[in-house]
Structure formats: C-alpha cells, structure tokens
A and B are shown apart, each in its own frame.
Chain A
Amino acid sequence: MEKSNRLKKILASKEFSLFILLVIVVAFYGVASPNGSFLKTRNIRSILDSMTIYTLFAVGGGLVIISGKIDLSPSYVGAVCGVLLAKLLDQGLPWYLVVPICLAVGAAFGLLNAVLINEFNIQSFIATLTTGTFIAQGLVYLIPAGVTYQIKDPVVIWYSTGKIFGFIPITMVISILIIVIFGIVLAKTKFGRSVYLIGGNANAARLAGLKPKKLSYIIFAYSGALGALAGMLYAGRLKSGSLVGTVSYGFPAVTAAILGGISLGGGTGNMLGCFLGLLIINSFNNGLMLMGLKPYWQTVASGVLLLIALTIDYFSTRERKIKLTGSI
C-alpha cells in the first residue's frame, strides 16, 4: 500500500516529468545525430563538462530564487573574480591566499546585495542588476587596467584543467559536489528548510520564529561566493583573466533552474530538478550543434524549450488551483 503510494508520488513528481523530457531529448538525438555521435562517450563527457560553470551559477541562483528573491549579479561577480585571480597571481601572491580572497570578494558582493535588499528595501531584481551590471562590470575593466594577465600558477591550472584518472575533469567533480551538497542542505537541514519557508512566506516565517533577514544575508553570500568560484574556474581554464568572463553564463543558468522546477514565486523546487534542467538544456544545445544548427538558432531553440516547460508548469499549477477554488 505504502509502496504503491510512494511510486505514485514519484510518477506524479515534477522531477519525473523532467526525467522523461530528458529521455526524449536524449533518444531523439541518439537517433537523429549524424552517426549516433550524440551518445558517444566523448560527447557525453563534453556535455557534462560544458555544464560545470552553468551548474555553479544555477545552484546559487536557484538557492536565491527558492528564498523568494532573484540574484542577477553572480555572473558579473564571476567575471570580476576571474580577472582578480589572474592579477593577484601575477603579482606573486600564492594561490592559497588568492583563492580565499576571491571567494571572499564574491561573498562580499552577495552581502552588499543583501544590505541593499534588506536594509534599504530595494527589490532584489534592481539591486542585483545594479551591483552586477554596473559595479561588478566596471571593476572587470578597472582591475586589470588594460593588461591581460596570464595565469601560470600550476595549482590553479591543475584544478581548472586537470582530469582525474586522465578522464574526469576536476572542475566537473567540483560542480557536482557543490550541487549534491546544496541539494542535501536544502532537503535535510534547518537552514535548507528555512530557505523554503521564507521563500514561501517571509512574513509568516518571521512570526513563527525564523530570522528571514539573517538568512537572506547568508543566502546572498553563498550566491556571490559560488559566482566567484565559477569565475575562477573559468579563468583557470582559459589560463588568463578574460574581460568577458562568465557574463554570458548567468542567464542560461537561471533558465535551467527555472526549467528544473525552481519557480520564480519562491518556496518550491530542488537541486535534483535543477540538475535535470541543466542536463536537458545542455544536451539540447549540444545536439543542435551536432546537427549543424547555427549558434543563434540554438539560442532561439533554447528559448522555445523554456517556453514549452513554462507552459506545462502553468497548466499543472492551474489544475491545482482549480481544485483549490473547488474546495472553498
């Protein structure tokens, strides 16, 4: 009895429908890609590898969205930390000082966002857009001041480009560890539960004894630090501090999180769904590339995929709402 219930629950869950969607995408490309190249080990690894940077942004972004806010700044913060990493290393500081400094800078950006949102009541969309596109973006140009710094530190290059057993990229391991850890934290800890509760109704959560303000500071600090981590891994791969950096990664990552069921309304979603969302979008784009579609069409196609997902989401929640009015 209980077993069949649990099975029913799994079948009705959002993650299951995402999984089906993933299977459809994979099956389609498996058949449609030239010579079945989509399912080759090398290609699968390349899909997973391309997800690394997106994953870090999606975890931070997803965390903030579940808490009922949005953070648009991490991809810019990542760019700042990329150039900062390159410059500080170039000036001779050791990696074990530079890496924590960059993480702290990322977290500091998050705290700045939290101050603007919690103390000055600026909407998170505007606050993080401003810190990201103006302050962080400005610093990306100011820090290197016209010089492109190369990264030569062996440790940084090792963890950014090295492979375990000569096969699994270390960055991939890092990103998967991060999403698993945050997945567990969200599902199992008091902090994680509190994120859902303040995202669902911050006012009620406060009156029931939680501290939404304090939590908000922690959440934004995580988001900023994860952005910094992504930016450093990206710079390490390129072996230089790029001025463009991770800027273009932020939005697709948030998109994947939303596709994965982290609703913009806050209070719902989880990291498993988020991971599936990332897999779906990256597989989808990879397949389009294999089939020779031009990059701009890929962008259009991802947009269509997201719209389809949002439409499905709309209809499933609408059905729930109708039930709701019925019981009043």
Chain B
Amino acid sequence: MVEQSLEFCNIVKSFPGVKALKGISFRAEGGRICALMGENGAGKSTLLKILSGDIQPDEGCLKINGEEHHFLSPHQSIKSSVSVIYQERQLVPSLSVMENIFLEDMPVGKLGFINMTELRSKTQEILDTFGLPIAPTDTVGWLSVAYQQMVEIMKAYRRDSNIIAFDEPTAPLTDKEITILFSLIKKLKEKGKVILYVSHRMAEIFQISDDIVVLKDGSLVKTLLTSQTNEGELVKAMVGRDIGDTYANLKRNDKIGDVLLEVNNLVTDYVDNVSFKLHKGEVLGFAGLIGAGRTEVMRAIFGADPIRSGEIRLEGKPVRFKSPSEAVASGIALCPEDRKEQGLVLKRSITDNVSIPVLSKVKKGLFLSRKTENDMAMNAVRKYSIKTPSADKQVMQLSGGNQQKVILGRWTSEKMATKILILDEPTKGIDVGTKAEVYQMVCDFAKQGIGVIFISSELTEVLNVCDNIIVMHNRHITGMLTREEATEELVLQLAMKD
C-alpha cells in the first residue's frame, strides 16, 4: 500500500474583519492519528472546512501524497478521497441507513433504477465490519445521535477515503459509544489512513492521538508528540499562559444554608421515583450517562414536561409549575444543554436575549424602556466579560462561550432574583479558558445564596466543582455522594448500576 500523507502548506484565510488562519503548515502521516487542538476561534473548524472544499483558502494549498490540490467544492474533495465528519451531521434524516451511506453513489441497475438488493447487502457488509446492531433499512432520523454519527463514519468508510477528519465526534456520545467509536477509528488507523481529530476533551486526546497540533488565534503554536507531553503543557500551549490548576484555585462557597428545593418521588414519562434536596448556596451535581434522565428531571421541575406524580416543595411550600413561565416567576432558571436550539434567540441582540424573563419589569407605562434593558445587558457584558463591541450585537455572532455567558447574564440580573439556577452541560463546546471562568461563576452564584444544579457528563468537572453529587442511571437516582467521598470510579459504578 502507498504511504498516505496530507500536508497543509501555508494556508491563509481571511473573513471580513477577521484573519482566521495566518499561514498554517503541517503534515499528517497515514497510520497515525493527528489531533487538532485549540480554543474556540483558534481556526480548527476553518481548517477542516478548507479540507472539505467547503471554503477556499486565500493562499496556500493542500498536498495529498505530495500532490498539490486546490479544492473548489466538497465534490472535488470527496473525489480526492477526503471525508470530513462534522459535528452537525450531514445526513438526510428521512432516508434509510443504506441510502445515506451510498448517498451519491447508489448501485444502479440497467433501467436506471436503484438496485435495492445490492444496496442492502453492501450496507449489511459494512455494518458487519463495524459490528453495529442497526439494519440497513432503518430510517436515520429515528436512530440515536450516536448511531447517526456511526452512519456518518460508515459513509466515509464506504467511500474508502484515505483522509478522514473528525470534528468533535464524541460530543453527543455516551462512554460506551465512545469506546465503539474509538475502536472504529483505530481500525481506520490500522488501514493506514490519515486521520485528523478535533476535540476539546483532554482525556480523549491522550487516549487516541499520536500527534497533537496546537492552534491559537489562527496560527500554529506547537506540534507535540502525544507520548512525550502532558495535559499541563498542552493547556499552556493552547491558552498561551499557565492557567494553573483550575479547580484548586476555585473560590468556593462554604456556607450552605436551608433547604431550598425538595423533590419527593417525582414520576414523569421519562423518570421514576426521583427524590432529592437542594440547599441555599449549594452546588448540586447531577452525573450519569447521557440519557439517564437528568435533563428530564429538571424539565419536569421547571414545568416544561408534565409530571405524573410526586411532590415538589420550593422553600417548604408545595409547588407544581404548569409552564416554564410559572417556574421563572418563582425564581427558577434553566440554562438548557442545547444553547442554540433551546437557550437563545440567535437572531436577536444580546439585550433582547437578556431581558426576556423580566420584560414586565422593564416597562415604563405601556412601553418597554430600552435604556433599562440596555443597562441590564451592559451589566452582564461587563460582569462576565462577554466579548462584544456592543449589546446590540446579534447573539448569533458570538462564540459559544460568550453565548453561554449571555444566558447566565439573563438569569442572574438583579431584576430576575433567581433562587435556583439549573445548568445543563454548561461547559459543552466551550474552550478551556472560558470553562475555568464558568466554574468560578458557578461558585459565585452559590456564594450569593443561589442553589445551583449542575448537570455534566464530564466527570472531572462534576467531581471538582460540586458540593454534592447525585448520580442517575436509567431514569433513577442510584446514589448521592459528597465531594469528599466521590471518586471517578464510584460515580461510574453508580452511573452504570442496574
């Protein structure tokens, strides 16, 4: 087999107002996994888009096996044996697995009709290679996110691409699914393919990659051999400074107060018999695998999903919210996991997004007071150092971390008077530096007497940020640990306990 290689040669790319890539050059070898790391805005996604032919560089070129390429379209890139698997899956949800895998290359019979038998058997072959329990005829839209991701990978495999790039593939996956994914990626590696791997998760990078390329602000900062580096060095290269031990430097709240929220035997369509207590100034973690029912518990408390039975007490008084607006009026705030779909109105300004829950309180007579609203928004911008020229900027134009801060700003304004703040995966897709900021914010909220519920699938952050940790598995609470007694092993055991 020919030795495969991919080389980026002095890639420069500007967008109006930003120089996204300032001359990136590096080489990735076949049979090795090359991790691309960097904070949000470092240029990883832009680089992948250039590789996939989605956008064109202003200068520079790609070399595949030494041969120069200029991709003008995704079509050309695919033809040159490149597959880029994006975070947003590029599948047709209404079609079957086999139709998606063979999307642009379906086996056609003499009359021009698609040969379904062949399509099915070819797909089954691929499914068997990967050992996946799905059928070629399953509709992709009905599969779990993880399997959709697998379909995407099988598409790349079917094309027999020599260069495969993954953009944060594990973000939607559970631990078990990640194991399957990694074994797939390793198979591809053994076949001598060039693999690029983008991820924010440190542990993963050390588990799977051979080389690490670190980008910062559009430039290449460092190329490292995974076996010869450590997390500290890597973070330092990414952030450009030593951020020290994020967790050790946290200034926590040490005064936990009275019971704020009490949930007894809560049952909904998605969770069974859930009971717990949240105190003033407490950071209560919810750990567990994806799909364990953590989000669903919160949605029920918040009035977003109907409750079948059980009791909820807020400051001792029984409550049952029929809609989120009632929950908000009682001082409960929810920052959903899917910021873009459920958290923000992307088309509107920072100001508009911050003032939503308190519109009635920014009225002057009949009309809204733009000035009051603006002051509120600017307060949030200053307090959380949101990077933006003004509060009028569309939220769409902010980075993920700054978007998260806008939501936090919404719920922690003076007018809101939040008692309970529910954070669902607040650091998902956020870079290391901002993550540390978010942790400190969480502790600050607790110091103000807010009860914080912190849902996260990243074990280290739950273990280090929360005062107490509740673990869920399969719709139930399987245990509760204090920070002192919790360890990764214990939490994992509970998270998988039957």
Is B17 engaged at the interface, CB distance under 8 Å to the other chain? yes
Is B23 engaged at the interface, CB distance under 8 Å to the other chain? no
Closest to B335 in A: A207
- How many Å from the CB of B314 to the closest CB on chain A? 16
Q: B348 contacts A324, CB within 8 Å?
A: no
Give Cα A328–Cα B55 distance, bound, in whole angstroms: 14
- Decide: A196 near B352, CB < 8 A? Known: A267-B347, A327-B41, A328-B46: yes
Q: B324 contacts A209, CB within 8 Å?
A: yes
Other-chain contact of B16, A194, A201, A208, A326 (Cβ < 8 Å): A326
Of the listed residues A205, A322, A324, the one surrounded by the most CB atoms of chain B closer than 10 A to its CB is A205
Q: B-facing mask of A297-328, CB < 8 A → 1, else 0? A: 00000000000000000000001101111111
Closest to B341 in A: A203
Q: A328 contacts B40, CB within 8 Å?
A: yes
Is A268 engaged at the interface, CB distance under 8 Å to the other chain? yes
- Decide: A207 near B324, CB < 8 A? Known: A323-B15, A325-B15, A326-B17: yes
Is B325 engaged at the interface, CB distance under 8 Å to the other chain? yes
Q: Which residues of A contact B336 (CB under 8 A)?
A: 204, 207
Is A152 engaged at the interface, CB distance under 8 Å to the other chain? no
Is A211 engaged at the interface, CB distance under 8 Å to the other chain? yes
Q: Which residues of B contact A196 (CB under 8 A)?
A: 345, 348, 352
Q: B328 contacts A209, CB within 8 Å?
A: yes
Q: B334 contacts A327, CB within 8 Å?
A: no
Main secondary structure, interface of B, reads mixed
- How many Å from the CB of A170 to the closest CB on chain B? 26
Q: A190 contacts B341, CB within 8 Å?
A: no
Residues of A within 8 A of B (CB-CB), count: 30
Q: A189 contacts B410, CB within 8 Å?
A: no
Q: B15 contacts A267, CB within 8 Å?
A: no
Q: A193 contacts B304, CB within 8 Å?
A: no
List residues 204-222 of chain A with CB under 8 A from any CB of chain B: 204-211
Is B92 engaged at the interface, CB distance under 8 Å to the other chain? no
Is A42 engaged at the interface, CB distance under 8 Å to the other chain? no
Closest to A184 in B: B367
Q: Which residues of B contact A327 (CB under 8 A)?
A: 15, 18, 41, 397, 399
Q: Which of B3-11, B66-74, B356-364 contacts A (4 or more CB under 8 A)?
A: B356-364
Is A200 engaged at the interface, CB distance under 8 Å to the other chain? yes
Is A294 engaged at the interface, CB distance under 8 Å to the other chain? no
Q: B15 contacts A322, CB within 8 Å?
A: yes
- Decide: A319 near B16, CB < 8 A? Known: A188-B368, A205-B356: yes
Is B343 engaged at the interface, CB distance under 8 Å to the other chain? yes
List residues 161-211 of chain A with CB under 8 A from any CB of chain B: 188-190, 193-194, 196-197, 200-201, 203-211
List residues 283-324 of chain B with CB under 8 A from any CB of chain A: 302, 304, 323-324
- Decide: A324 near B356, CB < 8 A? Known: A189-B368, A197-B345: no
Q: Which residues of B contact A322 (CB under 8 A)?
A: 15-16
Q: A190 contacts B359, CB within 8 Å?
A: yes
Q: A197 contacts B16, CB within 8 Å?
A: no
Give Cα A190–Cα B14 distance, bound, in whole angstroms: 40
Give Cα A203–Cα B343 distance, bound, in whole angstroms: 8
Give Cα A111–Cα B348 distance, bound, in whole angstroms: 28
Is B342 engaged at the interface, CB distance under 8 Å to the other chain? yes
Give Cα A208–Cα B360 distance, bound, in whole angstroms: 13
Is B346 engaged at the interface, CB distance under 8 Å to the other chain? yes
Q: A197 contacts B352, CB within 8 Å?
A: yes
Q: Which residues of A contact B342 (CB under 8 A)?
A: 201, 203-204, 207
Is B396 engaged at the interface, CB distance under 8 Å to the other chain? yes
Q: B17 contacts A211, CB within 8 Å?
A: no
Closest to A201 in B: B345
Closest to B302 in A: A207
Q: Which residues of B contact A265 (CB under 8 A)?
A: 347
Give Cα A256–Cα B397 distance, bound, in whole angstroms: 29
Q: A-facing mask of B370-396, CB < 8 A → 1, else 0? A: 000000000000000000000000001
Closest to B407 in A: A208
Is B45 engaged at the interface, CB distance under 8 Å to the other chain? yes
Is B20 engaged at the interface, CB distance under 8 Å to the other chain? yes
Q: Which residues of A contact B329 (CB under 8 A)?
A: 209
Q: B357 contacts A200, CB within 8 Å?
A: no
Q: Which residues of B contact A210 (CB under 8 A)?
A: 325, 356
Q: Which residues of A contact B46 (CB under 8 A)?
A: 325-326, 328
Q: B410 contacts A208, CB within 8 Å?
A: yes
- Decide: A204 near B341, CB < 8 A? Known: A210-B325, A324-B397, A326-B17: yes
Closest to B369 in A: A188
Is B189 engaged at the interface, CB distance under 8 Å to the other chain? no
Other-chain contact of B357, A188, A193, A201, A209 (Cβ < 8 Å): A209
- How many Å from the CB of A118 to the closest CB on chain B? 13
- Per CB-CB distance, the 5 closest pairs between chain A and chain B, nearest first, are A326-B15, A209-B328, A200-B345, A188-B367, A208-B356
Give B residues with C-beta under 8 Å from A: 14-18, 20, 40-41, 45-46, 49, 55, 302, 304, 323-325, 327-329, 334, 336, 341-348, 352, 356-357, 359-360, 363, 366-368, 396-397, 399, 410
Instruction: Offer 12 A-B interface pairs, CB within 8 angstroms, sorted by A.
Output: A189-B367, A190-B359, A193-B359, A204-B343, A206-B325, A207-B302, A320-B397, A325-B45, A326-B14, A326-B17, A328-B40, A328-B46
13 new A-B contacts, CB < 8 A, other than A189-B367, A193-B368, A327-B397, are: A188-B366, A188-B368, A189-B368, A190-B368, A197-B356, A200-B346, A204-B341, A207-B334, A207-B336, A265-B347, A267-B348, A268-B347, A319-B16
